[in-house]
Amino acid sequence: MKVTVQPIKVSVGETGDGRLDVADGGLVAVLVQLGANNGVDAGGWFVETGYGAMSGETHPVFSSLATAKDWFTAHLTQ
Amino acid sequence: MSVITHSPYHQRLIRKLDAISVLGAEDRDVLATLPLNIRSIPENSDIVSRGDRPSSCCLILEGFTCRYNILASGQRQIFSFHVPGDIPDLQSLHIEVMDHSLGALTPCRVAFIPHVAIDELLHTRPRIARAFWRETLIDAAIFREWLASVGRRTAYQSVAHLICEIYVQLLAVGLADGLNFELPITQEELGDALGLSAVHINRVLQELKVARVIASNRRQIVIIDWERLKAAGDFDPGYLHLRHDEL
């Protein structure tokens, strides 16, 4: 399972900084970096939406993209 | 003329029932004689749990509570929020086993009223019986609105709707100060009620603040523009079936 992330702008009123999370060539999630307004999770990466095995899941807010990639890799290879 | 002194605890219940139903002076006096077993409940603990077989109903005197269930996934679904004056587990009078839990979101003071005492009132005071029945019907009307919020309203609409609802409920029992009220519910708890993440709740609250619809400072909410908040939430207080126009 190879998980990669690609930059994308997301219109959700946060920093606008987002990532497409791709596993084995298929889109599994859109990540958005939270803005300063977001209190304890400011700067963290939030799973805006998930697809396939990642849809409807409860995800943590990740402190870094590396953590997010590790989590997705572990989750998708379960 | 009434000669019975209504304790502040009984007054909570009387005020609530007065807001939704027609009671006579004698009904109020009889309500004021209900035996109350007062207890303090720490925050984030259950008052009644799923599977319990209660022998009393719980009148909220102080604090915020919610009814909820934990799903197999470990996620919590909050079904309703309750404010002082509410009896959130009134149904336990007729439905023996709790099919959900009632939890304290903040430190609470509650009064347990024995089922036998309520049953006695239902048999002897038709207007009180009607008031309790009406209370449970309004409870169902609130669930219908929540279903619409969870199923069809956007995050922005459903958060605005919920703020409107809690405000009007607090206003009806004298617990809002003009357009100011205390909302000691966390963003996570709001998310568990509306099926949204705390991140989405935070975003919507920020949008409502930036648009100068509401302002908030810690647990205090100030409604800056009631008409715009109602419009944002698609909110019509008709389903709360209050006797007096609160707004």
pLDDT one-digit tens code per residue, A39-61: 778 889 999 889 888 887 677 89
Report pLDDT for B228.
Answer: 98
- Distances in whole angstroms, Cα of residue B3 to Cα of each of B32, B121, B128, B242: 11, 19, 19, 28
* B165 token code pair: 């609802």
Tell me the domain boundaries of chain B: 8-138, 153-240
pLDDT of residue A56: 73
Domain B153-240 class, CATH top level: mainly alpha
Residues of B in contact with A39 (CB under 8 A): 202
Inform me whether the C-beta atom of residue A39 falls under 8 Å from chain B C-beta atoms.
yes
Residues B189-242: tens digit of each pLDDT? 999 999 999 999 999 999 999 999 999 988 999 999 999 999 999 999 999 999
Domain covering B8-138 in this structure, CATH number: 2.60.120.10
Cα separation, A32 vs A23, whole angstroms: 17
Contact B186, B194 (CB under 8 A): no
For A19-27, what is the mean pLDDT? 84
Query: What pLDDT does B73 receive?
Result: 86
Residue B63's CB is within 10 A of a number of other CB atoms, namely: 19
Q: How far apart are CA B84 and CA A73, in angstroms?
A: 48
| pLDDT score for B246 | 61
Cα of B188 to nearest chain A Cα, Å: 12
Mean pLDDT, to the nearest integer, of B11-27?
95
Taking every pair of Cα atoms in chain A, the longest distance, rounded to a whole number of angstroms, is 35
Tell which phi-psi region holds residue B87, choosing left (phi > 0), alpha (psi between -120 and 50) or beta. beta
In chain A, which residues have their Cβ closer than 8 Å to the Cβ of B197?
A: 46
| Residue A18 confidence class, pLDDT cut points 50, 70, 90 | confident
Identify the helix (H) or strand (E) that includes residue A3.
strand A3-9
Q: Which residue has the higher pLDDT, B147 or A34?
A: B147
Q: How far A45 CA lies from chain B's nearest CA (Å)?
A: 11
Band (B130; pLDDT cuts 50, 70, 90): very high
Q: For position B142, what pLDDT does the model report?
A: 98
| Order of strands across the sheet that contains B37-41 | B37-41, B108-114, B56-62
Q: What was the pLDDT predicted at B19? A: 94
ipTM above threshold 0.90: no
CB within 8 Å: A37 and B202: yes
Digit-coded pLDDT (tens) for B78-128: 999 999 999 999 999 999 999 999 999 999 999 999 999 999 999 999 999
